[in-house]
């Protein structure tokens, strides 16, 4: 019994120093499985949560913990290739690795740029920075062949949000789209879409397509109705006659 207890104690003994612990984690970490799939771009990827779930037990086992500290925030204006100006949020983090022995590494500064879509933007920035720092510090490989594949896709000026982070934004945009459609004005609906397009592009790809398809269908119906409303009774009667003749058996309809 004593020998068994001694072996168990030895197995659970933490590395004595921070460098020893880092080496132990690097030796234990394996290539992560790509359990999620982007069905629109047809590639598999490792999500941020899966990555953290894989590394966290190894860090705890060897007495390590990571402290992310946001030290800076500012708005940055960037221009696209079409000379369109967009505003991004720049987040600066100091990432510090600590050991239960009290040893602490010097913090490493990391910066990420994201479209500002609400309070969830800071959470998305923190999650992304932690994953990228862990990958670099422990030379962990997720096997992703697409750049930033863990966030499903890239919008033109930033990274798409995960569904957990984007749910509130999606619901807000969907309500705004439907409220704009109530005005029965296809030009006003188009103006709403253009004003919110950059935010909508940060949504997960399937949610983005859901809103895009709803907008396109609604815009088409409103425009068609506007064209009908602008026609005289004589034009409407003639259109009905033309439609009836087009389907007449003698015309092959």
Query: How do the pLDDT tens digits run along the chain, 253 residues long?
Result: 445 444 443 445 677 899 999 999 999 988 766 545 544 444 445 677 777 888 999 999 999 999 999 999 999 887 765 667 778 899 999 999 999 999 999 999 999 888 877 777 888 888 889 988 998 888 887 655 444 444 434 433 345 677 887 888 899 999 999 999 998 888 899 889 888 887 888 888 889 889 988 998 898 888 888 877 766 666 656 666 666 666 555 555 5
Ramachandran class of 139: left when φ > 0, alpha when ψ lies in -120 to 50, beta otherwise? left
Residue ranges covered by each domain of the chain = 14-159, 167-251
- Alpha helices by DSSP H, listed for the chain, are 2-11, 18-28, 48-61, 120-137, 163-181, 186-200, 205-229, 233-246
What letter does residue 119 receive in the DSSP assignment?
T
Architecture category of domain 14-159 in CATH = 2-Layer Sandwich (3.30)
pTM above 0.85, yes or no: no
Ramachandran class of 197: left when φ > 0, alpha when ψ lies in -120 to 50, beta otherwise? alpha
Residue 238's pLDDT is 65
CA–CA separation, 237 vs 243, rounded Å? 10
Residue 78's pLDDT is 74
Residue 50's pLDDT is 77
What letter does residue 81 receive in the DSSP assignment?
T
Question: Do 47 and 152 form a contact (C-beta atoms < 8 A)?
Answer: no
Residue 203's pLDDT is 84
């Amino acid at each position: 019994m004593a020998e068994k207890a001694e072996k168990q104690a030895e197995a659970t003994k933490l590395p004595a120093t921070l460098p020893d612990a880092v080496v132990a984690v690097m030796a234990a970490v394996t290539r992560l499985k790509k359990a999620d799939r982007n069905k629109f771009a047809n590639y598999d990827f490792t999500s941020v949560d899966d990555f953290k779930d894989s590394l966290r037990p190894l860090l705890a086992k060897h007495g390590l913990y990571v402290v992310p500290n946001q030290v800076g925030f500012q708005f940055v204006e960037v221009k696209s290739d079409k000379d369109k100006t967009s505003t991004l949020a720049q987040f600066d983090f100091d990432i510090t690795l600590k050991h239960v022995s009290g040893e602490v590494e010097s913090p490493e500064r990391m910066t990420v740029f994201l479209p500002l879509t609400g309070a969830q933007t800071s959470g998305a920035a923190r999650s992304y920075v932690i994953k990228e720092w862990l990958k670099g510090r422990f030379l962990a490989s997720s096997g992703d062949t697409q750049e930033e594949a863990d966030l499903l896709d890239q919008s033109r000026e930033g990274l798409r949000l995960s569904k957990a982070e984007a749910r509130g934004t999606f619901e807000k945009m969907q309500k705004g789209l439907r409220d704009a459609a109530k005005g029965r004005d296809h030009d006003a609906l188009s103006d709403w879409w253009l004003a919110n397009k950059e935010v909508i592009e940060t949504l997960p790809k399937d949610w983005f397509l859901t809103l895009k398809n709803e907008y396109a269908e609604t815009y088409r119906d409103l425009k068609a109705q506007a064209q009908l409303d602008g026609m005289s009774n004589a034009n409407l009667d003639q259109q009905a006659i033309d439609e009836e003749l087009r389907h007449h058996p003698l015309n092959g309809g």
